[in-house]
Amino acid sequence: MQRGGLPEDAVVLSAAELADLQDRLFQLRCAAEDVVTAARDGASAAELIGLAEAIEISAKGLERLR
């Protein structure tokens, strides 16, 4: 069943919410790229753990919309 032309399970975001989500996804991608770069450059396990923790924090923030 549709309401107002949208499927019942549709999710609607405002332009501001979409922009925020895109910003947070960009931050997550950059954090992942940092891990790849560090690993290729021979970073220590401690450094890689720190970078991976940054990804974890970023991903947790994406689990919910603000």
What span, in angstroms and rounded, lies between the C-alpha atoms of 41 and 15? Answer: 39
Torsion angles phi and psi, residue 6, rounded to 5:
-105, 145
For the chain (66 residues), the mean pLDDT of every run of 10, in chain order, is 75 91 93 97 97 93 77
Q: What is the pTM of this model?
A: 0.77
Do 51 and 34 form a contact (C-beta atoms < 8 A)? Answer: yes
What span, in angstroms and rounded, lies between the C-alpha atoms of 28 and 62? Answer: 9
Can you give the pLDDT at residue 34? Answer: 96
Can you give the pLDDT at residue 30? Answer: 95
Domain limits, the chain: 14-62
Torsion angles phi and psi, residue 2, rounded to 5:
-110, 150
Do 39 and 48 form a contact (C-beta atoms < 8 A)? Answer: yes
